[in-house]
Structure 1
Amino acid sequence: MDLSQAIEQANAFVFPGFLTDDDSLTQERSKNEEAIKVLTDAWKAAPLGREPFSFDLVRGLADRNRDICDRYGIERLRNTNGLNLARRLSDADLIHGVATLQHRTDEEVARVSGPTAADLGIAYIDAPVWGAVVGIDLETSDREPDRGYVINVGLEFMNLTPTAKPTNPYSAYCGMPEMYAEKGVPLSEIHHITWKDLEGVPPLRQNPKMQKAILAALTAFPYMAHNAAFEDSWFMLNVDGYAEARKAGKIVPIDTRDICRRVDPEVRLLPRETHPATLENWARRRGTLSKNEKERHLGLEDVDLMLATVQAEFSERKMFPGQREED
C-alpha cells in the first residue's frame, strides 16, 4: 500500500455495521492496519510543520479499526501480531533519553555511546542523572494500540535523588464498549480488571479531559515507563496531541527496561529465558519486591515499583550527583 492508497483508506466512508462476515471484517482490518502504518511512517518522516496530513486522520482510522476488531471478536486476534506496536524505542530516542536525564546534549552522549547506542551503558554512568520525571504505566485490553483500549492509567512524579518519594499519584480507569459487559474484559487474567471496574466509565478516546491531563503530565517532565515503546505506541493512537508534541520534542520517553539491560550487570549473567529485565525480576534483585511478592500489573502500583527500582539501581551504581565524590 502506498501513501495515496493509505490516505484513501483513511478517508473511506465505511460503516462497520455493513460488514457482517468474517472475510470482509478481516480484509477491512488488515487494510486499516496497513494504512495506519504507512500514514504514521510518512507523517513522522515529513519535516516538522510540513506534514502532508493531520495526525487526526491516523487516530480516526485507529478508532474505526477498534470497532472492526470488536465486531470480529478481539479474542480471535490474541495471537495475531499487528503492525503498529513498536518493539523498542529508536537508538536516537534512547540516546536522547540519557542526555535528558544527564542534562547534556545528544551529541555529548553519542560520543560515548556511539550513534547506534552500542555503548549506552557506559554513557549512563559517564555523568550524574538528576531532575524530575513522571512515571507512567498503562493497562490495556490488547497488545496492539489500534485494536484495543486503554483501561487503566497510573502516574506520579519523582525527583531523581537517593531518598526522594513519588508525589501527586494519579490513577484512573477508562471504559470500553458496552459489549464487554457480557464478553468480559480481555486480558483480565493479567491485570485482573473486570467490568465492575469499568462500568459507566467513558473510554479514553471519549474523554478529552483525561487526554489533556495525560498530555500535560507528559509534556511537563520526561516520562519513564518499563518498555516505554509500548506506552509510546498507545499514546500515539489514543491521546490527542501526543504525536504532535512528541515530534516537536516536547515529550521525552525513557525506557526503564533499557536502563535495566544497560546498567544492571547481573542481566548479562542470567539466562535469557529467565527474563531478567522484566520489572518483577529486576525489582527482586534490587530488593524493592520481596521473593514472595508479584508485580501487580495495575497502573499506579507498577509505577511505584518501577520508580523505586530505578532509584535503587541508580543508587547502587552511584549515578546520582555527589555519590562518587563520597567514596
Structure 2
Amino acid sequence: MSAMYGHADDDWLMRAHGDIDQWAAVMDVDADDRPIDWNWVRTLDLVHGVGVATVHDCDAGASSDVHDLLRRDLMIRDRLEAILTCCDRVFMTDYDRLIPSYRLPRALAHANRRLNDEINLLRDRGVTEGLWTVAYEHRERVTVPVLQAAEGAPAVDDIQDRTAELVNGRAERRKRAREQRGAGERLMVAANLEGAIAAGGAAADEVTTAASPIGSDWRDVYLPGRGLDAVMGIDIETTGTDPLRDYIIDVGFEYMNMVAPRPQDAPAGMPYVDSSYQAGDAYGQARLGFGVTRANAWHGNETIRNLTGIDVKMRSSSQWRLFDEWPQAQQGLLMRLEQQPFVAHNANFEHRFFLHNVAGYAESYRAGHIVIIDTMPMSRRWDEGSAPSEAHPYGDNSLESYAKRQSALPEDSSERHLGLEDAHIMLVAMKHHLTALREAHRGPWAPMACPVPAANAPKVAAGRVVAALEWWHDPSRT
C-alpha cells in the first residue's frame, strides 16, 4: 500500500523500532488488560504499511477476497490501537525517565492512520461490488460504520467495526476504577479518624464530609491566572476526531496580549477569509494547510467538506504535504508552542493530535516546557451564560456559543470551522472575558484565587496526574 501512503521520511520510522525494548520494559499490558506481544510489534512494517491489502486489492473487481482482507485489517487495527491508547499515560507517568522518546507511538499512529485509510477503501470496494451497505450509527461515545449484508451475500458479523464496543468498555472500566479508588480513600479517611472521635462526638460520615469539601479540581491548572499576558491562540481542523486515525489538514494561529497593548512593530500576518473579521489586538496571524494520503483522498470526506469547505479529494497532490511527514513544519510549530502559553478551546483535542503528530511535543510537554490554557473550562466555570440546561447538561460551552456570549462573534454569524478564524474569535472572547472578570473581581481575581498563570499537566501534584490523564482520554468528557 506504500503507493497510497505518501512519501514518508523512512529513517525515523525505521529508527522507531529501536525504541521497542524501552517500552517493553515498562508497559506489559494494553488498554484491554491483555499482555502486549512486543515481538509482534517488531514485525510491523512501519514504512510500507501494516495492513494486508495491496493497492490493487482496494479496486472493485479485484480477484482477492475483500471480506478476508477487511477482517484481518480490522484485527490489526484493534490490536494496535489497544497499545497506542496506553502510551501517553505510560510516558507521562514514567517518572524514572526509562522512556526518553515518544517516537515509537508517533510511528505506530502514523501507520495506523494509513491502515484506517485501507480499511475504508476495502469497505468501499465491498459496497461497489454489492456485498454490503454501510450506515453510520452513534453508540454512546463514538460513531461507527455498520455493515448490512446484501441479499444472498455472506454474513458480515466478523467484519463489523468494534470501535464502540472497545472504547465504551474501556471508559466503563476506568469509571469503575475511579469509583473504587474513591471508595477506598473515603474508607481510609474514616478509619484514620475513627479513633479520634470522642464518645458522643460527630458521626463518622459527618467528619468525612467535613474532611472532603467539594472544591476545585485538577482542571483548574488549565485556567488562566492573573499574570497572564502574551498568548498564542491555535485551532486545528482535521479529517475526524481521532488522532490515531485522522489527519491534520489546517492549522491557524495568532498572538494577542491579554493586558499589554498590541506591539507597535508586530507583524500583521495573514488576512482572514471573512472580511468582517477585524484583527484588533491580534498579530502574527498564520494559516498552514496540509494534505492527506491518496487513499484518504480516494475515500473522500463529505462531512469535513460540508463543515470546513476543505475537500480532501483535492489534497493528495504534491503541492499538499502531509503534516505527519513534514518534520520542518512540526518543529516550527513546536518552537512557537514553547515560547508562550498556547490557548485552545477544548485543548484536549489539539493536545492529543500534537502528541501523535509533532516530533518532540510529548517530550517537551512532559518536561514542563509547554503551558496550555483552555477556554472551555473558562466558559464552564466563569460564564453564567453556560449554565447547565436540559439541552446542555454541562452547559453550552461550544466555541461559537462562548464567543457570542463574550461579544466576539455576532449573533447572526457562525463559527467558520477554519483554524485561523476560530483561533481569532477564541482569543477575542478570552480577552473580553478576562477584562470583565478583572473588573468584577471574579475568576482569577476572586478572593483566594491563584495569582499565577496556569501551569501544565506535568506540574500537577503527583497524586492527581493519573486522574488528569484518564480525563484527557475519556471520550465521554464534555
TM-score range, shorter chain: 0.7 to 0.9
5 Å-filtered alignment, 1:83-102, equals none
* Deviation for aligned residue 1:318: 1.8
1:272-294 CA distance string (max 9 Å, x none): 43852111011111221112100
Pick from 131, 136, 157 the counterpart of residue 229 of structure 2: 131
Question: 2:390 and 2:382 mapped to 1: Cα distance?
Answer: 17
Describe the SS at the equivalent of 1:224: strand
Higher CA-based Rg: 2
Corresponding position: 1:155 with 2:253? yes
Once the two structures are superposed, residues 84-106 of structure 1 have per-residue CA deviations (whole angstroms, 9 ceiling, x without a partner) of xx9xxxxxxxxxxxxxxxxxxxx
**Whole-Å separation in 1 of the counterparts to 2:37 and 2:379:** 38
Q: 1:157 to 1:304 in 2, by over 3 A?
A: same
Match of 2:52 in 1: 18
Structure 2 CA distance for aligned equivalents of residues 56 and 168 of structure 1: 30
After superposition, the Cα gap between the structure-2 partners of 1:150 and 1:247, relative to the gap in structure 1 and judged at 3 Å, is: same
For the pair 1:63 / 2:110, whether they are aligned, the reply is yes
For the residues of structure 2 that align with 1:124 and 1:204, how far apart are their CA atoms?
29
- When the two chains are superposed, the root-mean-square deviation of aligned CA atoms in Å is 3.2
1:204 aligns with 2:354: no
Helix, strand or coil for the counterpart of 1:61?
A: helix
2-structure distance, mates of 1:185, 1:244: 32
- Deviation string 1:21-48 (CA, Å, 9 cap, x unpaired) is 1111111001111111223322221115
Match of 1:39 among 52, 75, 87: 87
**Residues 237-272 of structure 1, C-alpha deviations (whole Å, 9 max, x = no match):** 000000000000001111111111111122126544
Within 2, Cα distance between the matches of 1:114 and 1:65?
Answer: 40
Aligned to 2:332: 213
Matches within 5 A, 1:151-300: 151-161=249-259, 164=262, 165-185=281-301, 187-194=304-311, 195-196=313-314, 199=317, 200-268=319-387, 270-273=389-392, 276-300=396-420
For residues 192-246 of structure 1, give each alpha carbon's deviation from its aligned partner in whole angstroms, at most 9, with x where no partner exists. Answer: 2114466421100111111011100100011100000010000000000000000
Q: Aligned equivalents of 2:301 and 2:105: distance in 1?
A: 26
Q: 1:185 to 1:258 in 2, by over 3 A?
A: same
Question: 4+ residue runs of structure 1 moved beyond 4 angstroms?
Answer: 74-78, 80-83, 112-115, 269-272
Which amino acid in 1 is paired with 2:50? P
Q: TM-score, normalised by structure 1?
A: 0.79
C-alpha separation in 2, matches of 1:314 and 1:240: 33
Between 17-26 and 259-268, the greater mean CA deviation after superposition:
17-26
Alpha-carbon distance in 2 for matches of 1:115, 1:267:
18
Contact (CA 8 Å) 1:129, 1:160: kept in 2 or not? Answer: no
- The answer to whether the Cα contact below 8 Å between 1:124 and 1:263 also exists between their aligned partners in 2 is no
Residues 36 and 9 of structure 1: CA distance in aligned 2, closer, same or farther (over 3 Å): farther
Give distance in 2, aligned partners of 1:136 and 1:9.
38
- Per the alignment, do residues 214 and 308 of structure 1 end up closer, same or farther by CA in structure 2, a change over 3 Å counting? same
CA distance in 1, matches of 2:439, 2:320: 42
Structure 1 residues 124 and 62: CA distance shift in structure 2, 3 A:
closer
Equivalent residues of 2:323, 2:330 under 8 A apart: yes
Q: 1:253 to 1:124 in 2, by over 3 A?
A: closer
Name structure 2 gaps, 5 residues minimum: 1-27, 54-65, 124-133, 137-142, 145-162, 172-212, 263-280, 446-478
Q: Does structure 2 retain, via aligned residues, the 8 Å contact 1:130–1:160? A: yes
Identify which of 96, 116, 122 aligns with 2:217: 116
Q: Which runs of 5+ in 1 are unaligned?
A: 87-111
**Alpha-carbon spacing, 1:115–1:153, altered in 2? closer, same or farther (3 Å):** same
Q: Which amino acid aligns with 1:42?
A: V
Partners of 1:43 and 1:124 in 2: how far apart?
Answer: 24
